[in-house]
Amino acid sequence: MRERRIVRDTQVRFRAKGAGDKGSHIEGHAAVFDQKYVLWDGGNYRVVEVVKPGTFTRALKEKQDVRCLFNHEPDNLLGRTAAGTLVLDQDAVGLAYDCELPDTQVGRDVGTLVERKDITGCSFGFIVTKQTTREEKTDGIAVYTREIEDVDLFDASPVTFPAYEGTDVKARSRELQHELRSAALSLEGLPAEIRARIEREDGAEEQECRCACRACMSAECDECEMHMARCGDQRRCNHMARSLSIHRGDAPTKRVDGEDLTSGCFIYVGDPEKTESWALPWKFKSEDKIKSHLRNALARFDQTQKIPADKKPAAWKKLVRLCKKYGITVSDEEAKSLGLSAEQRKDLRGDSGPGSNTQCQCSCNECQTGDCENCSNPDYDGDHDGIEDPDGDRAAALDEMDARLRLAGMKPVA
């Protein structure tokens, strides 16, 4: 299987034409030894790889015919070892390359862009011919490491997008993600459970709609046509009111924005067993996602048809409470652009005055100043503003715990 990797912490450099040169040069390292590259991150497990020193010894000794391509594209040929316009060397850092640029449009363009430092990244294409696998525990995470020891080389390339941030596998292109998934699955000794999880996660990602409209962002593809004259992802978007859902044990989950959410992660749930009745997801693993989806829920609230009219007041109160909890502020101008009513805008502003709180109806001084945790009215037994919603965070946590128990083969006790 042919693979490619993008190198961190190294740059392609420009060298002007010198005496005896036919043209200008670019040079850098297409691969770096002992640099960890995350192939797959599953939260409590991780599959990584490293290129070991000496990996390119055989390929260089055999004088394999390697190309220098811009962005790995065959049409963007810059040099070739067989022609002497690409020179490779293995040093203490990794695989070094020096390419004499051709007097072609792509050659001149790449030279200019590298000199200006618009292009800074390097990458290489290869087929692994020898590898070993080791397993270790790091900070409670099971790490499976693929150590590459020998390869056949195909290309060494300057690339436009070299950045590889931490372990954010999902940020990579779909094509590269499938490539890395295959590399992770090629590890000998990878536990069957981990192998199955990687295959399942990638399969779910492949089915997930990537239309950018507000409805599809909430995994409510059946309402996509409210926003889009033509869907942004007709291959995956489902307009037949059937959402992508799975069951973990007995607990149904709905896949939204790359995560499998239980019913407690939604603003409104019609039937806990029917994911198509869930609306406006909000509870995700990262706070950035939570804030993004809460803003999306504000924009979608009056549009979605999944929440019955008699249930909307309670759902709105919950949404406003969550927006306050996570510091979501909406200006009047933005609120108007979202189509929110004057009353809704007032709720979001949190205007003071008796009865103005979205949940708390207590008239004590503490509650009316937003200090519900220190309520001085012992006779008030209603909801308080800013106090955890028993149907929100707690329900989500309980659903998640039930799902984990069922996955472990245990039956939750009611």
pTM of the model: 0.48
> What is the predicted pLDDT for the residue at 236?
47
> What is the predicted pLDDT for the residue at 248?
45
Residues 338 and 283 in one domain: yes
Residues 214 and 293 in one domain: yes
> What is the predicted pLDDT for the residue at 196?
76
Separation in Å, CA 166 to CA 8, 31, 178, 402: 11, 18, 18, 31
Q: Judge residue 116's burial from the number of C-beta atoms within 10 Å of its C-beta, 0-12 exposed, 13-18 middle, 19 or more buried.
A: exposed
Nearest Cα residue to 125 out of 25, 30, 259, 13: 30
Picking from 146, 173, 200, the residue at the C-terminal end of a domain is 200
> What is the predicted pLDDT for the residue at 404?
53
Cβ contacts of residue 351 below 8 Å, gap of 6+?
Answer: none
Nearest Cα residue to 190 out of 242, 132, 150: 132
Residues 156 and 232 in one domain: no
Picking from 172, 200, 228, the residue at the C-terminal end of a domain is 200
Residues 397 and 252 in one domain: yes
Q: Does residue 241 come out as left (phi exceeding 0), alpha (psi in the -120 to 50 range) or beta?
A: left
Residues 182 and 268 in one domain: no
Which structural domain range is residue 69 located in? Answer: 2-200
Instruction: Determine contact, residues 151/59, Cβ cutoff 8 Å.
Output: yes
State the Cα–Cα distance between residues 249 and 406, nearest whole angstrom. 5
> What is the predicted pLDDT for the residue at 367?
66
**Is 47 part of any domain?**
yes
> What is the predicted pLDDT for the residue at 190?
74
Residue 124 has phi, psi (to 5 degrees) of: -145, 150
> What is the predicted pLDDT for the residue at 343?
87
**Is 262 part of any domain?**
yes
Question: How many domains are contained in the chain?
Answer: 2
In this prediction, the residues of the chain whose per-residue pLDDT falls under 50 are: 163-174, 204-206, 227-236, 239-249, 352-358, 386, 388-393
Residue 143 has phi, psi (to 5 degrees) of: -115, 120
**Is 360 part of any domain?**
no
Residues 320 and 216 in one domain: yes
User: Strand 2-7 relative to strand 121-138: parallel, antiparallel, unpaired?
Assistant: antiparallel
Q: What digits encode the pLDDT tens for the residues 59-118?
A: 999 999 999 999 888 889 999 999 999 999 999 999 999 999 999 999 999 999 999 988
Residues 51 and 129 in one domain: yes
> What is the predicted pLDDT for the residue at 295?
86
Query: Residue 164 has what DSSP assignment?
Result: -
**Is 164 part of any domain?**
yes
Which helix (H) or strand (E) covers residue 62, if one does?
none
Dihedral of CA atoms 214, 217, 219, 225 in degrees, nearest 10, equals 30
State the Cα–Cα distance between residues 360 and 357, nearest whole angstrom. 5
The structure tokens listed for 241 are 């009111």
Residues 216 and 96 in one domain: no
Residues 100 and 127 in one domain: yes
Residues 172 and 214 in one domain: no
> What is the predicted pLDDT for the residue at 369?
56
Query: Residue 213 has what DSSP assignment?
Result: S
